[in-house]
């Protein structure tokens, strides 16, 4: 699919008898590092395909004893420590300027449905965590992790920002399930590796797939939240 920001390859199908669009932000075979993901093209394409609600997954490292390896966590706040990523669709001129509200970055209505799905399945799902997004692709230093802890972060990852911001700009609901796949630098007793993260993802994959399927079964087409009106002032979409 062509977008003003580049070409993307979404997969359209059905799940729980609903039309669903799947998009791998890292591309096939995890070939795109987090700092080079074309976030604007991905989110724009989803909106043009009619998507109104996004359920994202993210591998995260734990900064807190409250979150253990194998935990599933609903994000509710973020800290942005990215450096080089376009953060908006609205860059002035004909596009206009939008100062989008981020009081509740992750849609509370969608998060509640995910919680309902987890209860139906009997899965433990921790509700609420502050996610710090780093530029990547390197892992963080122990000094950086200590700084993030002092700022109130619970989890660390490399992808949720600017995804969550761009989705809000286009009036879409966005929620993210964090999969705790490792402990951050200075907390873990061993060196960090991408292989460790991928192995943990495999173990959590089946559980998360079930949670996504039941969530979609419970979803309704309407948006009972403020996300849809987030860009009213610029009148796009």
Q: What is the pLDDT of residue 202?
A: 72
Cβ-Cβ contacts under 8 Å for 192 (sequence gap 6 or more):
61, 139, 182, 184, 185
**Do 57 and 208 contact (CB within 8 A), yes or no?**
yes
Q: Span 90-106, mean pLDDT?
A: 90
Joined together, the tokens standing for residue 189 give 């007793």
Supply the pTM of this predicted model: 0.90
Q: What is the pLDDT of residue 28?
A: 78
Cβ-Cβ contacts under 8 Å for 232 (sequence gap 6 or more):
none
The whole-chain average pLDDT of the chain stands at: 90
Of 5-9, 69-73, 94-98, the range with the lowest mean pLDDT is: 94-98
What percent of the chain clears pLDDT 70, i.e. is strictly above it?
90
Q: What is the pLDDT of residue 109?
A: 96
Q: What is the pLDDT of residue 178?
A: 95
Q: What is the pLDDT of residue 16?
A: 79
Q: Which domains does the chain have, with CATH numbers?
A: 53-229 (3.40.50.1580)
Instruction: Give 69's pLDDT tier (boundaries 50, 70, 90).
Output: confident
Q: What is the pLDDT of residue 102?
A: 94
Q: What is the pLDDT of residue 116?
A: 98
Instruction: Give 149's pLDDT tier (boundaries 50, 70, 90).
Output: very high
């Amino acid at each position: 699919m062509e977008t003003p920001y580049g070409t993307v390859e979404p997969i359209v199908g059905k799940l729980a008898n609903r039309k669903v669009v799947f998009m791998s932000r890292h591309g096939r075979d995890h070939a795109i590092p987090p700092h080079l993901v074309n976030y604007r093209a991905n989110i724009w394409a989803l909106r043009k395909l009619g998507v109104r609600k996004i359920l994202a997954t993210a591998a995260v490292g734990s900064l807190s004893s409250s979150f253990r390896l194998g935990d599933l966590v609903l994000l509710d706040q973020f800290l942005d420590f990215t450096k080089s990523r376009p953060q908006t669709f609205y860059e002035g001129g004909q596009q206009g300027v939008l100062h989008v509200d981020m009081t509740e970055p992750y849609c509370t209505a969608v998060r509640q449905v995910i919680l309902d799905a987890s209860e139906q399945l009997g899965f433990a799902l921790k509700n609420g965590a502050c996610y710090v997004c780093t530029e990547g692709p390197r892992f963080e230093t122990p000094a950086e992790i200590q700084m993030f802890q002092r700022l109130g972060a619970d989890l660390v990852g490399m992808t949720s920002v600017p995804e969550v911001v761009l989705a809000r700009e286009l009036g879409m609901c966005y929620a993210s399930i964090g999969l705790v796949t490792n402990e951050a630098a200075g907390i873990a007793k061993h060196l960090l590796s991408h292989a460790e993260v991928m192995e943990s993802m495999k173990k959590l994959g089946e559980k998360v797939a079930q949670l996504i399927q039941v969530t979609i079964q419970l979803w309704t087409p309407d948006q009972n939240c403020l996300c849809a009106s987030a860009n009213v002032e610029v009148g796009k979409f």
